[in-house]
Structure 1
C-alpha cells in the first residue's frame, strides 16, 4: 500500500483546487472548487445558513495538515472534513466545496469571504478568538514529543527539553513554539520547520533532538513513516502562564455567522456526545475516545483564557 501524502499547514498547492481536481468519496464532499461568486459574504452572515441551504453547498477552507484536513490520493480526507460533511448534511447542506490554502491565509481568507468555514482542526486560542468565532471543540489533543529511537536525551516533555538543553523542532506559526518558550526552552534551541515530514527528517539527521506537535499529528506521522527509527512519547499538557493548554480544535466562522455557528454546534454536540459515533466517523484518522472533548471544556472559556 502506498503511503498517503503527508501534507501540512505550511506546504500546499499554491492555487485553489479547481472543480474535479479532488475526486472525493461521496461521504466527504461533492466537489472542490475555486471560490464561488456570491453567497456567504461577510455582509450577509446573519442569513448565511439559509443561503447555504438555498444553494446546496458550503465553501470550506483547509490547509492540508494530516490528519485534520488533507488531500489523500485525490480525495479530501481527515477529521474536520469528515465531521463537517456529517454536520452540514444534517443542516440541509449536502456538498462541501473546498479551497486548499496556506494555514496562515485561512483566517484572512475567511474574513474576506473566500469561504464560509475553516475546516482544518484549527486550535482555539484567545488570539484567534479576537478575530473570528469558533465552534465548540471538536477534539482535544495534548502535546507530545517525537524523539529518536531509544530517546537518547531521556526527554519526556518540553520542560525536560529546556532542562537538558535539547533542540526542539516546531512548525511555523504553530502553538508549540509558545509552549516551548513557556517551558523554558531558549529561543536559540527552537528550530522552525515548514512541514511535518521536515520534523521527522530533521530528527533522524540529528539537527533536532525532539519534534513537538500534537500527539494526534505525531502518531499519524509515525504511522506514515513505518520503520523510521523514531518514537512518540506519552502525551502531556503544556502550561502557559499557569494555564493548561489542551490544544482543542474547532471549526471557524466569521464573527457575524453566529446563527450558522450555533446550528453547527447543535449537531456537533450530537456527535461528541456519542463516543461510538465519534470514533466510527474519524477513528481511521487516529482519533479515539481520548480525543473526545469533555462537555465542561467550552470555547467561551478557552477564548477568555
Structure 2
C-alpha cells in the first residue's frame, strides 16, 4: 500500500535535508501513523503552500502535511483530527528595531513591512488587525521570506511560532492533515491511529526534538487523543 504526501519547505514542520531526505515534525508523525495502518511505501511530493489543497483535490497526491484548519478550507478537503495547536509569531531582525510585537503593532506603523507566505492564514489575521495590503509582502515560501528579512526588505515575517506562546487564555489555531473528500477510507484509518497515538509518551518525545512542548500538544489531545 502506497501513500503520496505533499509537503512544503517549512522547518521545523517539514523540509528537505542536505542529503535529499524529507524530515520534520509533521513528516515523522505521518510516517509513524501511516506505517501503523499498514502503509508500506510513502512517496513525498515537494510543492508550494498554495498548491497543497488543489493538488490533493485533483488527486496528484493522497494527503497533505498539516495546515491550519479553517471553515473555508474544510469546504474543499477532508481534515484529519487536529495534530497540533499553534499560535502565530514574528521573526524579526536582531533587536526588533521597529518594535513589531503583534499585527496591531505593524498596523500602527505605516513604514512597517510584513512578510507572509501566499495563501496562508496569517495574511487574513494581519488584515483583520488593520494591516494594510500595501504593508504586506507576499512570498511563495518560507525560505524566500526569511531571505527577504535578512536582506532588510521586510521588517517581520509572520508564520506559526514554536517558542512564541499564544496570549494567555487565547485558543491557538489547530492544524491537521488534509485529504481529498473522495478518500474517506484513508481519512478514517489515519484518524483512528491518530486518536490512539496523539499525546502518548512516544508522540511527545518525537515532537520534543522539533521544539514542540505540552502547549502545542495538549490543546489537541483533550479532544480525543491518547494521554501520557
Q: Distance in 2 between matches of 1:278 and 1:140?
A: 15
Q: Is the 8 A contact 1:214 1:247 kept in 2?
A: no
Partner of 1:283: 208
Give me the whole-angstrom Cα distance separating, in 2, the residues matched to 1:64 and 1:146: 16
- Which residue of the other structure, out of 129, 134, 151, is the alignment partner of 1:183? 129
Structure 1 position 163 matched with structure 2 position 108:
yes
Match of 2:191 in 1: 265
Tell me the residue number matched to 2:40. 94
CA distance in 1, matches of 2:171, 2:121: 10
Deviation at 1:138, TM superposition (A): 1.1
Q: Against the structure 1 CA distance between its residues 278 and 195, is the aligned structure 2 distance closer, same or farther, given a 3 Å change threshold?
A: same
Q: CA deviation at 1:143?
A: 0.3
Aligned to 1:130: 75
Is contact 1:79-1:121 (8 Å) kept?
Answer: no
Q: Is the 8 A contact 2:4 2:45 kept in 1?
A: yes
Q: Tell me how large the CA RMSD over aligned residues is.
A: 2.2
- The match for 2:66 is 121
Aligned counterpart in structure 2 of residue 252 of structure 1, from 178, 199, 220: 178
**What corresponds to 1:228 in structure 2?**
none
Cα distance change on mapping 1:245 and 1:192 into 2, 3 Å: farther
> 1:1-305 maps to which residues of 2 (within 5 A)?
56-73=1-18, 74-118=20-64, 120-165=65-110, 166-216=112-162, 234-236=164-166, 246-274=172-200, 276-292=201-217, 293-296=219-222
Name the CA distance, whole Å, in 2 between partners of 1:62 and 1:171. 14
Tell me which residue corresponds to 1:49: none
Which segments of 5 or more consecutive residues in structure 2 lack a partner in the other structure? none
Q: Aligned to 1:148, what secondary structure does the other structure show? A: coil
| Alpha-carbon distance between aligned partners in 2 of 1:105 and 1:211, rounded to the nearest angstrom | 21
Measure the CA separation in 1 of the matches of 2:56 and 2:140: 23
Inter-partner Cα distance in structure 2 for 1:113 and 1:77: 23
> Which structure has the bigger radius of gyration?
1
The alpha carbon displacement at 1:72 in A equals 0.9
Total equivalences in the alignment: 219
* Cα pair 2:7 2:14 within 8 Å, conserved: yes
**1:96 alignment partner, SS class:** strand
TM-score by length of 2: 0.85
With the length of structure 1 as denominator, give the TM-score of the two structures. 0.65
Q: Which runs of 5+ in 1 are unaligned?
A: 1-55, 220-233, 238-243, 299-305
Q: Counterparts of 1:283 and 1:194 in 2: how far apart (Å)? A: 28
Q: Which has the higher contact order (CA 8 A, sep 6+)?
A: 2
**2:15, 2:83 → 1: CA distance?**
17
User: Which whole-Å CA distance do the structure 1 matches of 2:98 and 2:173 have between them?
Assistant: 25
SS in 2 for 1:281: helix
Distance 1:63 1:197, change over 3 A: closer
**Closer/same/farther in 2, CA of residues 245 and 178 from structure 1, 3 Å limit:** farther
